[in-house]
Amino acid sequence: MKIGIAQLNFHVGNFEGNLRKMKEAIDKAAAATADLIIFPELAVPAYPPRDFLEFDDFIERCDKSIAELSRYSGGKGLAVIVGSPERNPVPEGKDLYNAAYFIEGGKVRQIVRKGLLPTYDVFDEYRYFEPSREFQIIRFKGKRIALTICEDLWNIGNENPLYTVNPMEELMKQEPEIMINIAASPFAHGHTNERKNVLKNNVKAYGIPLIYVNHTGTQTELLFDGGSMLINDRGRIVEELPYFEECIRYYHWDECFDKSNPLVSDHDQKWDKNSVVHKGLIEGIRNYFYKLGFREAILGLSGGIDSALTLVLASEALGASNVHAVLMPSMFSSEASVSDALKLAEHLGCEHRIIPITEVYQAYLDILKPHFKNRPFDVTEENLQDRIRANYLMALSNKFGYILLNTSNKSELAVGYGTLYGDMAGGLSVIGDLYKTEVYDMARWINRKEEIIPWRILEKAPSAELRPEQLDQDSLPPYDLLDQVLQAYIELEKGPAEIIAMGFDRKLVARVLSMVNRNEYKRHQFAPILRVSPKAFGMGRRMPIVAKYLS
Amino acid sequence: MKIGIAQLNFHVGNFEGNLRKMKEAIDKAAAATADLIIFPELAVPAYPPRDFLEFDDFIERCDKSIAELSRYSGGKGLAVIVGSPERNPVPEGKDLYNAAYFIEGGKVRQIVRKGLLPTYDVFDEYRYFEPSREFQIIRFKGKRIALTICEDLWNIGNENPLYTVNPMEELMKQEPEIMINIAASPFAHGHTNERKNVLKNNVKAYGIPLIYVNHTGTQTELLFDGGSMLINDRGRIVEELPYFEECIRYYHWDECFDKSNPLVSDHDQKWDKNSVVHKGLIEGIRNYFYKLGFREAILGLSGGIDSALTLVLASEALGASNVHAVLMPSMFSSEASVSDALKLAEHLGCEHRIIPITEVYQAYLDILKPHFKNRPFDVTEENLQDRIRANYLMALSNKFGYILLNTSNKSELAVGYGTLYGDMAGGLSVIGDLYKTEVYDMARWINRKEEIIPWRILEKAPSAELRPEQLDQDSLPPYDLLDQVLQAYIELEKGPAEIIAMGFDRKLVARVLSMVNRNEYKRHQFAPILRVSPKAFGMGRRMPIVAKYLS
């Protein structure tokens, strides 16, 4: 028996496109004489469809795709496993199941339903789906297959399991010979290793091999890294598919068992954090633009590290000729900033232009002065400069159909060191899930072979340049300290006592946590952020705005 | 036995404030010789605490509040029922229960756990809580009480029940004499009647009386309207507490039974939609400001209906002297708009000023002209005007510590007829859950006794006044038609075929649904919207941005 796995990049709600892609894969698999081709979880509508799942019309289109896949694969003489929602046939409970369709001989032969529904962080599955309480193996060409969906394998080896049931325990009673898991498992740095451990632990626990099929490509803020794999019955990774690439591979049944190739070594990919996050961000930009039907980006280039890194990433993702950089100096901008920014744009080959904000800024001050009642220069005037820049960028975005890329980093988003409708503007946040120290780290990695980002940008002290002699460090704790406290609070969800116990100053901790909580209202109005950490601002972190806790 | 019910306005995460409020209520109840006082669901942290529930420190503070409430009420000699999270003592499943603490004699005597966890629309309870599968009545002073939490009573009389279990069916086996339900049930127009029906159906089904205790006050976008009530064993509402007001009431045990007062009539309040939505919006503004520690608002007054209504609501909520109106005419503003706006501001007694945008607009055009490559006047220049106005308003907001109130309505938010960082700016959206036709309807209601909003504002054709002779109807379908299609799609979640079957033109439906879906990216960056409908934009409607469905 020959099994094909299709790690593909689908598009939420694009039924025609997704179906076309699956038909092409079926053609290829048929040509390769595969008996079975496997697509990932909810491949039909793509993942996550979110509240579209509440629309009857949307589910009908899923059903039509399943019917068409049945017809098409039947004609090609091969079986298909594919994820799609299924209507719950009984009135009690949620209206849908998150299901895997087993299609053979042109018909849906069996439907397997997901039992463990992730409802945490970016996941909302119990919002839509009823959990299955019954689990049946699939029989195909005399083989017994334990087919599960993503989270169903994740209640293992954990001292604090999230669920009270374990689908594989039920399935093992039916003596399956192999596990197949279809998934929609988003990327986060560190998560890839966790995923491998969980999957290997399943193989260890149940003693049978595992075929794992994940999505690749990105959907707004969620990045799916692929990394589909075959783990043989001895727990060795026979092959791990590339990260962030579409890929179809075939395996013979025997390859799933160590005896057929006892010398296979563990084939997992060892990517360092910067390489894989970099690849993820590139894909994140590309998918955002192309799936929305856009080609060109615009961004403000300040001469600082954040916009420099964003420009490099955007140029690689979209092609430098599709990225437009705008320098918008004020009387507070240093000459070094302007020349560093120019140097970078020229090096990359991006179209760039200089539009000073000084005159427009003065026009605002002239008309607003009588209304300011002689109050001194403060954050008002600083924010105004940021907002004029956003207006320039949005004007060019509107006039030419560019998407404005936001250049804020996670540290400043966390503490509210940014201007709403100013430097917080943009359709997509590229590096909003990288702390400032991670931004530097990736910039150094970008420069590992040659100077792409002028070294001077990495070396100078960060400044918003909104008033004379301004430095970030005047308003914020040093970034290496700040980022550690932020990580403890945001990623590790530690409280003040725990963070202080880690060795941080009590006042610093109180100040930082208060800044994070008080600025929830700003992040609420922020663009989607490409998620590369286990806890990003956005759909996976849901905080009250009007609250009084550590604030 | 005398039972007190405390319909109070709590504040998320404000443990000190919430505890103080509960102690005061205990003092009052003790003075009134009550035996028991009942606070609503999750009263200790207030509802919804959202992801704060994932912080150990947060749960610890809840536990400390429960300990302090026990100590305090013990000293006063009365029992307490109060909602607070409980740590799940077993490792399997979610870490918390949504619990009701029964405190008697200074000790937690029993903990009741919620069985049905709403995880739809604005609710995320399965994100945090394990559902209880066991239900035990409470025994207090020889009485048997079926204590449940909100949703636990909502799996009744429905042909399509959301859950596969029913806590009251279990509890009835233990022969309770009365039901007590503590709730956190947010307001939506129409929902109040649905709630009464569900509660009455429980009394009908089980033949015992019901005491229902809800929150009042608002938490960011969620409005809690109170409306706590006693329904006697014959299904008659003995008393319904006021909407959107704090209130403590006492009932004797006998009042719960019809025999003690067989002549009682059904005491539910009959408020028309405008009255209750108006009250809700006023409370929504007040709570947003006061709970965040702000007093003063600013908004742009255009002479149109949306900003006029917002100004009226804000003035009533905060006091006219705390609301600052800014008129920002351009060369495209009509004299009528300016004079109507002035008339309204003067009538209300708000501080108001005129700051024209013409010169700043010209300064932008001068500097941007060479970059526009001779392209004609288009949405770019229109948006620029909106953004200059937002900059003025945000400058005054920054300088004086005002919160900018947004004035967008639901129709324009739905179809994307608004400018990001322009008229879509603001910290709180007051009327973003009212369709344009509902805005008119409420404006007429405001004017029902005297002209508050100049009638001319209601009578003229809506216009954004961003280019000569512009009318909304040039770009959009007529609002009475548009709003019906929007409501079918957004509130009723109907698909295109269903909406066409309702009698709407095929092309119109396709156009409107496409506008809604394509503008998800704008709403993603919008302020929290005071939620008054069953389906508002915001936390209760979660849509993909990068998608290709009906778009």
- The helix/strand/coil state of B140 is strand
Q: What's residue B156's pLDDT?
A: 81
Q: B21, B62, B86, B114: which one is catalytic? A: B114
Alpha-carbon distance B290 to A508, whole Å?
Answer: 27
pLDDT at residue A160, rounded to an integer: 73
| Angle of the B15-31 helix axis to the B56-76 helix axis, nearest 10 | 20
Q: What's the pLDDT at A473?
A: 87
Question: Are A95 and B395 a contacting pair at CB < 8 A?
Answer: no
Number of residues that this document lists for chain A: 551
Does the annotation mark B114 as catalytic?
Answer: yes
- The reported pLDDT for the residue numbered A263 is 67
Amino acid at B43: A
At A97-137, the pLDDT tens digits run 999 999 999 999 999 999 999 999 999 999 999 999 999 99
Closest residue in B to A91 (Cα–Cα): B160
CB contact under 8 A, B398 and A380: yes
Contact A135, A115 (CB under 8 A): yes
Task: Specify whether the CB–CB gap between A219 and A48 falls below 8 A.
Answer: yes
Taking contacts as CB-CB distances below 8 angstroms, the residues of chain B near A550 are 13
Q: What confidence tens digit (pLDDT) does each residue in A362-398 have?
A: 999 999 999 999 999 999 999 999 999 999 999 999 9
SS3 B136: coil
Nearest-CA distance B547 → chain A (Å): 5
Residues 131-190 on A with a CB inside 8 Å of B are: 159-164
Instruction: Name the B residues in 485-544 with CB < 8 Å from any A CB.
Output: 493-498, 521, 524-528, 539, 541-544
- Across the interface, whether the CB atoms of A56 and B498 are under 8 A apart is answered yes
CB contact under 8 A, B360 and A364: yes
pLDDT attached to residue A435: 98
* B259 CA: distance to closest CA in chain A (Å): 37
pLDDT in tens, A414-439: 999 999 999 999 999 999 999 999 99
- Kindly state whether B323 is in contact with chain A, defined as any CB-CB distance less than 8 angstroms: no
Mean pLDDT for A545-551 is 96
Residue B271 has pLDDT above 80, yes or no: yes
B178-182/B143-149 β-pairing: parallel
Chain B partners within 8 Å of A359 (Cβ) = 363, 366-367
Helical segments of B32-92, H only: 56-76
Q: How far is CA B269 from CA B109, B193, B265, in A?
A: 36, 10, 12
Predicted local confidence at residue A35, as pLDDT: 98
State the average pLDDT over residues A157-168: 84
Is the pLDDT score of B522 beyond 90?
yes
Q: Which pair of tokens denotes residue B365?
A: 């055009």
Mean pLDDT of chain B: 96
Task: Decide if pLDDT at B260 tops 90.
Answer: no
**A285 in Cβ contact with A321 (< 8 Å):** no
Confidence of residue B69 (pLDDT cuts 50, 70, 90): very high
Rg (CA), chain A: 26
- Burial (CB < 10 A; 0-12, 13-18, 19+), residue B544, is buried
* Nearest residue of chain A to residue B377 (CA atoms): A399
Q: State how far the alpha carbon of A182 is from the alpha carbons of A191, A228, A337, A426, in Å.
A: 17, 9, 49, 35
| pLDDT above 80 for A157 | no
**Which of B119, B356, B497 lies at the smallest CB-CB distance from A126?**
B119
Q: How far apart are CA B241 and CA B418, in angstroms?
A: 40
Nearest to A92 among B161, B384, B394 (CB): B161
Say if strands B96-104 and B107-113 run parallel, antiparallel, or are unpaired.
antiparallel
- Residues in A 406-425 with any Cβ partner in B closer than 8 A: 420-421, 425
Name the residue of chain B whose CA is nearest to A403's CA: B521
Q: How do residues A244-277 score in pLDDT, each as one tens digit?
A: 999 999 999 999 998 877 767 777 778 899 999 9
Give me the pLDDT at residue B263, please.
Answer: 67
Residues 230-269 of B with CB under 8 A from A: none
Percent of chain A with pLDDT over 90: 93
Distance CA B482, CA B493 (A): 15
Q: Which of B57, B92, B363 is nearest residue A360 as measured by Cβ atoms?
A: B363
pLDDT of residue A238: 93
In this structure, what token pair is assigned to residue A521?
Answer: 């209202």
**What is d(CA B135, CA B169) in angstroms, rounded to the nearest whole number?**
9
Mean pLDDT of the region A306-332: 97
- pLDDT given at position A69: 98
Separation of first and last alpha carbons in chain B: 61
Quote the CA–CA distance of B343 and B453 in Å, as a whole number.
Answer: 9
Please give the model's pTM, rounded to 2 decimal places: 0.97
Residue A50 with chain B: CB contacts under 8 Å: 542-544
Alpha-carbon torsion angle B476, B480, B485, B489, nearest 10:
100
**pLDDT for residue A266:** 75
Residue among B62, B150, B256, B350 flagged as catalytic: B150
Cβ–Cβ below 8 Å for A388 and B390:
no
Q: Which pLDDT belongs to residue B269?
A: 80
d(CA B100, CA B108): 10
Is 80 exceeded by the pLDDT of residue B506? yes
Q: Check residue B265 and give its pLDDT.
A: 72
pLDDT band at B158 (very low <50, low <70, confident <90, very high): low
Average pLDDT of span B261-284:
87
Distance CA B58, CA B69 (A): 17
Report the residue count for chain B.
551
CB pair distance less than 8 Å for A55 and B493: yes
pLDDT at B259: 84
**In chain A, which residues have their Cβ closer than 8 Å to the Cβ of B360?**
360, 363-364, 367
Distance in Å, alpha carbon of A168 to nearest chain B alpha carbon:
16
At residue A294, what is the residue type?
F
Closest CB to A51 among B126, B521, B543? B543
| Contacting residues of A for B528, CB less than 8 Å apart | 524, 545
Annotated catalytic residue B245? no
Mean pLDDT, residues B119-131 taken together: 98
pLDDT above 90 (res A50): yes
Task: Indicate the pLDDT class of residue A158, thresholds 50, 70 and 90.
Answer: low
Q: Which 8-state DSSP code applies to residue A259? A: G
- pLDDT tens digits, one per residue of A172-203: 999 999 999 999 999 999 898 899 999 999 99
Say yes or no for a CB contact (<8 Å) between B543 and A371: no
A23-32 long-range contacts, Cβ below 8 Å, gap at least 24? A23/A69, A23/A72, A25/A248, A26/A69, A26/A72, A26/A73, A26/A76, A26/A78, A26/A80, A27/A76, A28/A4, A28/A248, A29/A4, A29/A76, A29/A78, A29/A248, A29/A250, A30/A76, A30/A77, A30/A78, A32/A2, A32/A4, A32/A250
| Active site positions of A, annotated | 41, 114, 150
Q: How confident is the model at residue B469 (pLDDT cuts 50, 70, 90)?
A: confident
Q: Report whether pLDDT(B329) > 90.
A: yes
Give B371→chain A minimum CA distance, Å: 8
Residue B261 scores a pLDDT above 80: no
Q: Do B544 and A219 touch (CB under 8 A)?
A: yes
* The amino acid at A151: E
Residues of B in contact with A48 (CB under 8 A): 544
Q: Report CA dihedral (B206, B122, B275, B488) to the nearest 10 degrees.
A: -100
The beta-carbon neighbor of B395 closest among A380, A390, A495 is A380
Flag whether pLDDT at B48 surpasses 90: yes
* pLDDT over threshold 90, residue A77: yes
A58 contact residues in B (CB cutoff 8 A): 495, 549
Q: What is the pLDDT of residue A55?
A: 98
Residues of A in contact with B218 (CB under 8 A): 546
Q: Shortest Cα distance from B139 to chain A (angstroms)?
A: 30
For A144, A233, B417, the CA distances from A260, given in Å and listed in that order, are: 19, 11, 63
Give B544's contacts in chain A (Cβ within 8 Å): 12-13, 48-50, 52, 219-220
Contact B544 A220 (CB under 8 A): yes
